[in-house]
Amino acid sequence: MLYLAALLVHCVPLAMGQYDICKSWVTTDDGPSWEFYACQPKAMRMKDYVTVRVDPAGITCGDPPERFCTHENPYLCSDECDASNPDLAHPPKLMFDSEDEGLATYWQSVTWRRYPEPLLANITLSWNKSIELTDDIVITFEYGRPTIMMLEKSLDNGRTWHPYQYYADDCMEAFSMPARRVRDLSTTSANRVLCTEEYSRWAGSKKEKTVRFEVRDRFAIFAGPDLKNMDNLYTRLESAKGLKDFFTVTDLRMRLLRPALGGTYVQRENLYKYFYAVSNIEVTGRCKCNLHANLCTFKEGSLQCECEHNTTGQDCGKCKKNFRSRSWRAGSYLPLPNGSPNACAAAGSAFGNCECYGHSNRCSYIDFLNVVTCVSCKHNTRGQHCQHCRLGFYRNSSAELDDENVCIECNCNQIGSMHDRCNETGYCECREGATGPKCDDCLPNYYWRQGCFPNVCDDELLLCQNGGTCYQNQRCICPVGFKGVLCQQSRCEADKKDCDGAPGAGGSLATVALGMLALQLRGWVDL
């Protein structure tokens, strides 16, 4: 049964080259077995899986309720936004609903009543999953498109952001960038971030409502006007540095910077006709699964690749446990038309029993020892199976042996430690007086100055005498007439000059004795 079913699907990938099948059951001279292919999920409507955030707080209209006008009817301000009334509210979710009845539902901002303070809004879409765009991003504005806006993207779940495209009715004025069109880009500039004036002009608010990020036009640079030559595109995505990543996002952000003006100037006497209203944001893309999955499912609030080829992870970005005899690799579109699966291999299958925990791709047979050993262990590992950490590194206890982060640098303080090796918990071996895991601290009664030195003076036992003051535990600053490590010595005594009547000369003997006793207690001075 299984045999038959699989035979039916077998022909599909070979015929279409669409990368939509990960494996099939084939018969060869050696009998039936699985054959594996590079594969990717189908494109989906990504707005169905998105979470949205609109900033700043209070930018959504209706709290308190507010009247607004339109550019068509600037003095007939009968429309009202009221967040507490479902019929009059315009919450962010209305940018992602399906408008079955044909009536536009939209998110709407407050009006520009604070002019000339700019009216700024951020709409941030997050997927918690890498997405590869396959078609244009289309944002539909009711009541006119912004005259200045920016699209940003993140590839790391919103930790860092990068400009994706600039939009303005005057690019030079708004962003000091020349206006360009995606259609005019070439093969070498297909991933250029540009400013376009195509989507910001006033053309009547009913006529031109959409702002695009043109994915298809960029694809067309390689695949031709009707995207017929997808093979060429796939070849380019594989080889051109940064091109694949350019179309990959985890988050998108629309920064709305100036609303539609309906003319050249802002009319201060009627600020109620200036606001943003977005009825739809269409994002079409597929889950990034590194060509190791053809299914992507929505589980526990996040998209997740159904990984094949013995890979695992949200993006199939690593090999499954016990399948790490060589490093993980993404599947490849090449060679055409079926690509290479670059499947993970079971431990032990590659070279007899030489497991390298994914830190090496190569093993070598050492003749005179009669062993097979991993070559050029990466990730700071060493050993026959790359199972140890290099000197100067220690084992990360929260990482598996096949984790890239398995070895952590010791980072011993160069001056405070004996050498740059450390024990299994990352502790370095300290020189005298130094302490702390990295030997960058001093023990009590030691001070740091290019290493740890014992205190010369302090506020407890090693008191400076005769009114001397202790400078940073390094030395006593003695008053005139005294000297010695703790100012314990009168200059008169030392010099044997006639200094009768010098202050403190007689009374200092007891304090000197005390100071010397303290030194002796601490073991610095042998009396």
Ligand X SMILES: *[C@@H]1O[C@H](CO)[C@@H](O)[C@H](O)[C@H]1NC(C)=O
* Chain positions contacting Ca ion, by CB under 5 A: 94, 97, 105, 279-280
- Give 100-153 as a DSSP string: TTS----EEBPPSTTTTS---EEEEEEEEEEEEE-S-EEEEESS---SEEEEEE
- Binder among 210, 302, 353, 520 for ligand X (CB under 6 A): 302
| Partner interacting with residue 408 (select from Ca ion, ligand X, none; CB below 5-8 Å by kind) | ligand X
Q: Which residues contact 307 (CB under 8 A, 6 or more apart)?
A: 289, 292, 293, 313, 316, 320
Q: Binding to ligand X by residue 122, rule CB under 6 A?
A: yes
- Binder among 84, 187, 353, 423 for ligand X (CB under 6 A): 423
> Tell me, what amino acid is at 454?
P
Q: Binding to ligand X by residue 160, rule CB under 6 A?
A: no
As given in the structure block, the two tokens for residue 101 are 């009845």
Phi-psi region of 304 (alpha: psi -120 to 50; beta: other; left: phi over 0): beta
CA 291 to CA 375: how far, in whole Å?
Answer: 28
| Partner interacting with residue 115 (select from Ca ion, ligand X, none; CB below 5-8 Å by kind) | none
Kindly tell me which of 232 and 314 has the beta carbon lying closer to ligand X. 314
- The residue range among 7-15, 286-294, 396-404, 451-459 that interacts with ligand X, by the rule CB under 6 A, is 396-404
> Tell me, what amino acid is at 254?
M
Shortest approach of ligand X to residue 396 CB, angstroms? 4
DSSP label at residue 93: G
Kindly tell me which of 304 and 327 has the beta carbon lying closer to ligand X. 304
Q: Binding to ligand X by residue 427, rule CB under 6 A?
A: yes
- Binder among 225, 425, 444, 526 for ligand X (CB under 6 A): 425
Kindly tell me which of 383 and 436 has the beta carbon lying closer to ligand X. 436
Q: Binding to ligand X by residue 139, rule CB under 6 A?
A: no
Q: Which residues contact 348 (CB under 8 A, 6 or more apart)?
A: 325, 354, 355
- Binder among 29, 31, 56, 263 for ligand X (CB under 6 A): 56
The values of phi and psi at residue 8, to 5°, are -65, -40
Kindly tell me which of 50 and 492 has the beta carbon lying closer to ligand X. 50
Shortest approach of Ca ion to residue 92 CB, angstroms? 10
- Binder among 191, 248, 270, 314 for ligand X (CB under 6 A): 314
Positive or negative torsion for Cα 241, 246, 249, 251:
positive
Q: Binding to ligand X by residue 30, rule CB under 6 A?
A: no
CA 181 to CA 186: how far, in whole Å?
Answer: 11
Shortest approach of ligand X to residue 327 CB, angstroms? 15
CA 211 to CA 214: how far, in whole Å?
Answer: 9
Q: Binding to ligand X by residue 187, rule CB under 6 A?
A: no
Kindly tell me which of 122 and 511 has the beta carbon lying closer to ligand X. 122
- The residue range among 197-205, 278-286, 297-305, 489-497 that interacts with ligand X, by the rule CB under 6 A, is 297-305
Shortest approach of ligand X to residue 271 CB, angstroms? 18
CA 465 to CA 372: how far, in whole Å?
Answer: 71
Q: Binding to ligand X by residue 202, rule CB under 6 A?
A: no
Q: Binding to ligand X by residue 179, rule CB under 6 A?
A: no
CA 311 to CA 144: how far, in whole Å?
Answer: 47
For the chain, give me the number of helices (H) and strands (E)?
7, 36
Q: Binding to ligand X by residue 128, rule CB under 6 A?
A: yes
- Maximum CA extent, the chain: 119
- The residue range among 191-199, 271-279, 298-306, 480-488 that interacts with ligand X, by the rule CB under 6 A, is 298-306
The values of phi and psi at residue 172, to 5°, are -65, -45
- Binder among 255, 292, 438, 483 for ligand X (CB under 6 A): 255
Shortest approach of ligand X to residue 329 CB, angstroms? 12
Q: Which residues contact 437 (CB under 8 A, 6 or more apart)?
A: 422, 425, 426, 427, 428
| Long-range pairs of 424-428 with CB within 8 A, sequence gap ≥ 24 | 424/394, 424/395, 425/394, 425/397, 426/394
- Binder among 5, 9, 53, 55 for ligand X (CB under 6 A): 55
Shortest approach of ligand X to residue 5 CB, angstroms? 17
| Partner interacting with residue 94 (select from Ca ion, ligand X, none; CB below 5-8 Å by kind) | Ca ion
As given in the structure block, the two tokens for residue 229 are 């030559």
Chain residues in the site for ligand X (CB under 6 A) = 34, 36, 55-56, 120, 122, 128, 152, 161, 253, 255, 301-302, 304, 309-310, 314, 343, 346, 396, 398-399, 403, 405, 408, 423-425, 427
